[in-house]
Amino acid sequence: MFKNSLLKPFTQLVVPIVSRPTPLVSTASSNIRLFHNSTINSNQIVKQQPIKLLSRSEKRLRSILRVRGHLAKKIANTKDVEFVDPVLGKPNTSFIQRLDAYIKTPTNMSFGHEFEETQKLIYGAEQAALKRAKERNEDWMYQTIIEEGKRQKEAVKRIFDLKNANNDASKKLAVKFAKTEFERFEGDSGSSEVQAAISTVKIHFLAKHLKENKQDLSNTRKLSELVHSRRKILGYLKEKDPKRYFFTIEKLGLDDSCVTGEFTLSRNYFANVGFFGSATLPARIPRRERNKRKAIAQEEKMARRYGATHLGLDI
Amino acid sequence: MARQNLVGMVISQGKMNKTIKVRVQSLIYNSRINKDVMSRSDFVVHDEANVCKEGDVVRIEACRPLSSSKRFAVAQIKSNKGQEWVNYMKEAPIMVAQQEQEKIRLFNQAREHRIAETGKTVLDKLRLIEAFELGKASNEVGDAQKAQEQEINQYKQELGIKSWGEDSYKIKLGLDKLKAEAEAQKLKVKVLEFIQNQPGKTNEILTSLSKNPQDIKLNIKVNILKKYFSQTGLEL
């Protein structure tokens, strides 16, 4: 009934507005039906434009320009999405910087010892020796005992210094640091965020090694495994506790796309982020894909030009 | 006829205007394995107000074809978990920034404490001594510096500084180390040449030091002669 009136615009122009048929959709019906017919407005008077005959080439040109205009508007509206590295995360993440600073503190010791504790122990030993000397009335021993204590302090500091230990020792310390940062209660080592933090530490250490040793393929595979396991853990956390999840990824310098998006640790990824510096190989793209991209780029270029000149868009 | 109604979760939003993707799960009996199997299907759904967020559970209702693949429209949002996610996403950077600020403050505090505990660095001590000595030279020693005298003497003892000259800090910081090494190398070469060219004289020197020249190896000869020339100050 109502649709038929649309098909007969000439007759409708003649009919006065009051006598036009009432719309099918009443206000009492459900919302869904309303927007189904949202394009049809009962109060609208259909304007009839004079029919203009177009040649085939004109029609073709018009269709091309229509598509081009749509594309230009689309480009103008799209926001640049920030790329976040799914392996190393955002650069200058505060947590990672603090971790680095913590590892480099000069009082760090390997094998889980603490600087202050060792100093206290040596002081205690020295005091005990002095006491023993006093009991035996060996006053001439005092000076030698104190000098011995000084030497012991120096020796212990050198032996247990983290600078003289291997990479594993500093990794252990970093893991401990990450644990205490993310734990829900004291001694917690199994919650998802702690696991994710530990794998982040491991990933950063391994990536540093791989940047220097490009040929280490077995460890490259290990890195891939670590990254994917972290994605899995974080995906689980998102399902269970979204609040903790968003906090954790923010702190680790990651993004939701790092967890939900697709990722392979491939040559193209290395090329994209310039993983090996100047030694990185360029990305390998199949010819068909390359041609496709070229065509899209050309279309976009034309659309930008058209949008700037004809539509007044700022692109 | 009643419209088709389904319940599912929003899995994609914001990529197309007024359109979302909804995943509907259902159990379907598989007669071959005699089991219920979970099956899922994704629907492209019309969302007029753009209100649905990723993670929402919605009820969708069939409608007339709205585009090539849109046959459903959102009828009801059953749980707005997606909106909660968005809120958490907005909260997270603020919370993390606050926590990091606090942690950095604590870290710096611990660092300052450590430095105060272990005493001043070598460089600071040297600077203190330098300032004191310069003041002494120009007779402008203030009361504050006089009070420091004992402390500075202690630092001097630690660093093994007996007198303060222009080059004292260079010696202590090992800035002349390379130069000294080069000079030692030069002396060694000169001594080797001396042994090769004048074997008679070398034997004389060694016998004067009460050593048998035939028993001693070349490298030991070189060391002895180096010591001899540097101590006596004789020219090669």
Residues B70 and B14 in one domain: yes
CA A160 from centre of chain: 37
The closest alpha carbon to A196, from A148, A238, A158, belongs to A238
Task: Find the mean pLDDT for residues A210-239.
Answer: 96
Task: State which of B71, B97, B117 marks the end of a domain.
Answer: B117
Which residues of chain A make contact with B89, given a CB cutoff of 8 A?
A: 246, 256
Write the CATH number for B36: 2.40.50.140
Q: Which of A5-19, A228-242, B95-109, B181-195 has the lowest mean pLDDT?
A: A5-19
Domain count, chain B: 4
Cβ-defined contacts of B208-215 (< 8 Å, 24+):
none
Report all structural domains of chain A as residue ranges with CATH numbers, in order of start. Answer: 2-51 (no CATH), 57-81+276-315 (no CATH), 87-92+166-262 (1.10.287.10)
| pLDDT tier for residue A98 given thresholds of 50, 70 and 90 | very high
Confidence (pLDDT) at A5: 44
Q: Quick one: B206 and B223 in the same domain?
A: yes
Q: What's the token pair of residue A31?
A: 């919302």
| pLDDT at residue A27 in the model | 45
Write the CB contacts of A260 (distance below 8 Å, at least 6 apart in sequence). A235
B68-80 tens-digit pLDDT? 999 999 999 999 9
Q: Is the separation of the CB atoms in A267 and A281 below 8 Å?
A: yes
Distance of alpha carbon A165 from alpha carbon A109, whole angstroms:
9
- Where a domain ends, among B153, B173, B193? B173
- State pTM to two decimals: 0.65
Instruction: Provide ipTM, 2 decimals.
Output: 0.73
Least confident of A52-56, B64-68, B95-99, B105-109: A52-56
Same domain, B98 and B57: no
List chain A residues with CB under 8 Å of B99.
251
Same domain, B19 and B73: yes
Q: For residue B46, give Cα distances in angstroms to A273, B26, B73.
A: 38, 21, 4
Q: Say whether both B185 and B145 belong to one domain.
A: no
Q: Residues 57-86, chain B: which have Cβ within 8 Å of A? A: 61, 63-64, 66, 73, 75, 81, 84-85
> Where is average pLDDT lowest: A186-195, B113-122, B208-217?
B113-122
Tell me which of B99 and A18 has the higher pLDDT: B99
Q: How far does the CA of residue A14 sit from the closest CA of chain B (Å)? A: 31
Whether residues B24 and B73 fall in one domain: yes
Residues B196-214: tens digit of each pLDDT: 998 888 888 899 888 888 8
Which residues form the domain of B202?
177-232
Of the residues B79, B108, B141, the one at which a domain ends: B79
Please report the pLDDT score of residue A302 as a whole number.
Answer: 95
Query: Are residues B73 and B89 located together in one domain of the fold?
Result: no
For A47-90, the pLDDT digits (tens) are: 677 777 889 999 999 999 999 999 999 899 888 888 999 999 99
| Count of CA atoms in the C-beta half-sphere (13 A) of A185 | 0
What residues of B are in contact with residue A107 (Cβ under 8 Å)?
114
